[in-house]
Amino acid sequence: MKILALTSIRSEYDLVSSLFKKLHLDPEIDLQLLVGGAHNSPSFGLTRKYIEADGFNILMSIESLLDADSSSSRLKSASILLMSSVDIVKRYSPDLIIYAGDREEIMIGAMLGGYLSIPTLHLFGGDHASDGHIDNPIRHAVSKLSTVHFVSNDEHARRLYAIGEPSRRVFNIGSVALDKFYDIDKNPSVVSKIAFKEVTRPLALFIYHPVEGELDNVESIVRDAINVLIEEGYHVFIGKPNTDYGNARIRNVIESFENNTDHLSVYSNLPRIDFVQLFKACSLIAGNSSAGLLEAATIPIACINIGERQKNRLCAENVVFVEANKESILSGVKKIKTIEFKAKLSKVINPYGDGQSSKQAYNLIKSINFQSLLLKTEDPINEE
């Protein structure tokens, strides 16, 4: 079986790498990766090196990312990836194309499959947040274009049924993103390794992605959040933002802090094991990353989600949603320190799965007749 997997950014790659490993080790499967986007950009850490270090076969690396901090650059970058990959994919002629998440590049995978008559597998379909971010309609549009869906919970499955996807195409396996949190043990020494010094304060992980509706105030949002965390006694580990429009403004704020406090450490890209161990060493995650909703409950640690991104997305009781201002962020930090919240946190169950999802995904890939599902003949108004 020939499988092609698309990957364009480190965050998405790490979500599915545990599944890639199982497929790669199977002698009956030829897994090849099409590597584009931020993976091949020096500005974002040239993260293709982590794929190479994991030992996966790279069918082609495509320099598709425009190094421009604008809303239009994401669309132009996606068009470069499409134009550059059509002939490559057609020549390889895989039996299945795999892609994950909600970024613009997965539209490329879905279109390649649809127009080249190749079955496709979409991971993390059916998820939804009410923040109005473009990621949501991209995710749902890709679901309509995809052959099969591996979803993370029953709610996501029901959402796919609601948009006309029949149950024979939908498989609830939990989230493959959680598997690494069960596979990788805690290691407190990673803290000083990343910080380049001994850290005695409690740790807070801060990851904030630019959101179009908050761009006018993004500098103050990030600055206020960092200040609150430091003032409340935390050492803050900050991950630099991804390629979304507005990332340069966030980077500028982060860099203004780097040399002005001993209570902050900044990283760009970390090896997977280091990131998971750092995550597990923290007392909370703040910002607006999906990691706060999807993965933090597995540890478990508190999540303070700031602003509009991720609102009304399925989550456990470890998440506190706050407005994007200093007073609300401070209130959220105060809340997670209460005895009541800590008691609730100790009993949290992650609705996204139990860390066994990659095994389920692998077994399904081996057993599903994808070719028989290729033609989407069903009429949405007559489906279950």
- Note the pLDDT tens digit of each residue in 233-289: 999 999 887 777 777 888 888 888 777 678 999 888 888 899 999 999 999 999 999
The dihedral built from the CA positions of residue 230, 232, 236 and 239, taken in this order, carries a sign that is negative
Alpha carbons within 13 angstroms on the beta-carbon side of residue 75 total 5
**Whole-number pLDDT of residue 73:** 86
Beta strands 170-172; 148-151: pairing state: parallel
Both tokens of residue 361? Answer: 């995904």
Both tokens of residue 339? Answer: 């005895």
- Note the pLDDT tens digit of each residue in 199-211: 999 999 999 987 7
Both tokens of residue 221? Answer: 């949002």
Neighbours of 126 (CB within 10 A): 26
**215 confidence band (pLDDT: 50, 70, 90):** confident
Residue 274 lies in a domain: yes
Residue 360 lies in a domain: yes
> Are both 220 and 240 inside the same structural domain?
yes
Ramachandran category for residue 159: left, alpha or beta (phi over 0 → left; psi -120 to 50 → alpha): alpha
Q: How far is CA 343 from CA 61, 347, 348, in A?
A: 48, 7, 9
> Are both 191 and 331 inside the same structural domain?
yes
3-state secondary structure of 370: helix
pLDDT at 41 over 90: no
- Note the pLDDT tens digit of each residue in 134-147: 888 999 999 999 99
C-alpha to C-alpha distance for 210 and 242, rounded to whole angstroms: 9
CATH number at 320 reads 3.40.50.2000
At position 44, the amino acid (one-letter code) is F
> Are both 338 and 366 inside the same structural domain?
no
> Are both 192 and 164 inside the same structural domain?
no
3-state secondary structure of 68: coil
Residue 180 lies in a domain: no
Query: Per the structure, how many domains does the chain have?
Result: 2
> Are both 197 and 163 inside the same structural domain?
no
Neighbours of 189 (CB within 10 A): 9
Residue 290: domain span: 187-345
* Cα angle 289, 236, 277; round to 5: 70
Mean pLDDT value of segment 76-94: 95
Beta strands 2-7; 57-61: pairing state: unpaired
CB 279 within 8 A of CB 285: yes
Both tokens of residue 269? Answer: 């890209």
Residue 182 lies in a domain: no
C-alpha to C-alpha distance for 369 and 262, rounded to whole angstroms: 56
Residue 298 lies in a domain: yes
CB 98 within 8 A of CB 121: yes
C-alpha to C-alpha distance for 16 and 11, rounded to whole angstroms: 9
Give the chain's mean pLDDT.
92
Residue 340 lies in a domain: yes
**Whole-number pLDDT of residue 207:** 93
Give the DSSP letter of residue 147.
S
Mean pLDDT value of segment 120-135: 89
Residue percentage of the chain with pLDDT more than 70: 99
Neighbours of 377 (CB within 10 A): 5
At position 338, the amino acid (one-letter code) is T
C-alpha to C-alpha distance for 316 and 152, rounded to whole angstroms: 14
pLDDT at 384 over 70: no
* DSSP structure string for 244-284: STTHHHHHHHHHHHHTT-SSEEEES---HHHHHHHHHH-SE
pLDDT at 154 over 70: yes
> Are both 303 and 202 inside the same structural domain?
yes
3-state secondary structure of 168: helix
Both tokens of residue 375? Answer: 């033609």
**Whole-number pLDDT of residue 38:** 87
> Are both 334 and 215 inside the same structural domain?
yes
Residue for token digits 């950009």? 41
* 284 closest CA partner among 298, 299, 302, 296: 302
> Are both 197 and 250 inside the same structural domain?
yes
The dihedral built from the CA positions of residue 136, 39, 215 and 310, taken in this order, carries a sign that is positive
Between 154 and 214, name the one with better pLDDT. 154
> Which residues contact residue 266 at a Cβ distance below 8 angstroms, ignoring those fewer than 6 apart?
237, 238, 240, 254, 255, 257, 258
> Are both 301 and 366 inside the same structural domain?
no
> Are both 16 and 141 inside the same structural domain?
yes
372 exposed, middle or buried (CB, 10 Å; 0-12, 13-18, 19+)?
exposed
Residue 181 lies in a domain: no
- Note the pLDDT tens digit of each residue in 289-308: 999 999 999 999 999 999 98
pLDDT at 178 over 60: yes
> Are both 26 and 44 inside the same structural domain?
yes
The region of weakest confidence among 65-74, 90-99, 124-133, 344-353 is 65-74
pLDDT at 383 over 80: no
Alpha carbons within 13 angstroms on the beta-carbon side of residue 117 total 3
Residue 373 lies in a domain: yes
Alpha carbons within 13 angstroms on the beta-carbon side of residue 190 total 21
Both tokens of residue 330? Answer: 């401070």
> Are both 160 and 91 inside the same structural domain?
yes
